[in-house]
Amino acid sequence: MNKLIHEFINYLSVERGLALNTLESYGRDLRQYSQYLQAGDDEALDLASRAQIVDYLLHLQKQGKATATIARRLAALKAFYQFLVREKYLEKDPTANLESPKLEKRLPKVLTIREVELLLAEPDPSSPAGLRDRAMLELLYATGIRVSELVSLNLPDVNLDMGYIRCTGKGSKERIVPMGSMAIASVREYLDHGRGRLVRDREEQALFVNHHGRRLTRQGFWKIVKKYAEDAKIDKEITPHTLRHSFATHLLENGADLRSVQEMLGHADISTTQIYTHITRGRLKEVYARTHPRA
């Protein structure tokens, strides 16, 4: 089973060009499924029937797994079994016609413009780390890129004179995203006065580095954001995507068109971007109810 999972992950990497985070997620989900099968009476892959897969999904439900988690695990199984049938390891796909559980559409949490300003004001610009942190937060809010895209940026990916960054998103798709004057100024100050005091290897290409002088990780960035949110006394649950969500919402609230926001976010499908229109409509209703004399 592990050999087949490895072959499948290799196929996703080479043939489909999926991002490392996606590959790790598929691998983790399928290994947990393999462990579940091996804990039962039937360990052989060809005995993994539709009934067994349904039992596995029910097992996840009994464990209290979120609907989104179960849906993701089923999606991984479907892709895996489709691969096995295509490669002639199996004759029939046991996941065929298995429906994914319906997901609740949860609106992403966003910061107000005032809360964004408080967060961006927290880093101390008198230290190299503070200059780096301010540049990261400004850049993230200015462009709406994913945290994984932020920490993957290299020096040649940033063009401060032209005011844009080049980043590689999901499916190894490259896109160009404009950045505003505040972000340009913050990144320039970090490059001029901060990065050189953090980096140790002059050949290092990572734009944002940690105190060891190596590329900052997503986990490292997440700790930084949580600390500044606490220091700024922002009483909201903040996730690594909060600034990305805030970026999209604030653009739409101020008149940006949906297609442009989709392009900047790197969404393959505009329906993914449309969730932010629900937020802005909700805000409009709040403003109307609060301000109209006959509301």
Q: What pLDDT does residue 136 have?
A: 95
Q: What pLDDT does residue 193 have?
A: 95
Predicted model pTM? 0.62
Is residue 241 annotated as a catalytic residue, yes or no?
A: yes
- Per-residue pLDDT of 118-133, as tens digits, reads 999 999 999 999 999 9
Q: Spot the catalytic one: 132, 134, 195, 244.
A: 244
The domain locations on the chain are: 2-86, 113-290
Average pLDDT, integer, range 261-268: 71
Is residue 267 annotated as a catalytic residue, yes or no?
A: yes
Name the E strands within the chain: 158-159, 164-168, 174-178
Beta-carbon contacts of 203 under 8 Å, excluding residues fewer than 6 positions away, are none
Q: Spot the catalytic one: 73, 146, 195, 250.
A: 146
Q: In whole angstroms, what is the distance from residue 222 CA to residue 226 CA?
A: 6
- DSSP-derived 3-state class of residue 200: coil
The second-level CATH assignment, the architecture, of 2-86 is Orthogonal Bundle (1.10)
Considering only residues 276 and 202, tell me which one the structure prediction assigns the higher pLDDT.
Answer: 202
Is residue 244 annotated as a catalytic residue, yes or no?
A: yes
Considering only residues 33 and 108, tell me which one the structure prediction assigns the higher pLDDT.
Answer: 33
Domains 2-86 and 113-290 share a fold: no
- Contact between residue 81 and residue 34 where contact means Cβ atoms under 8 Å apart: no
Which CATH number is 113-290 given?
1.10.443.10
Q: Spot the catalytic one: 170, 175, 188, 283.
A: 170
Q: Spot the catalytic one: 65, 72, 241, 283.
A: 241
Considering only residues 170 and 146, tell me which one the structure prediction assigns the higher pLDDT.
Answer: 146
Is residue 276 annotated as a catalytic residue, yes or no?
A: yes
Q: What pLDDT does residue 292 have?
A: 54
Is residue 292 annotated as a catalytic residue, yes or no?
A: no
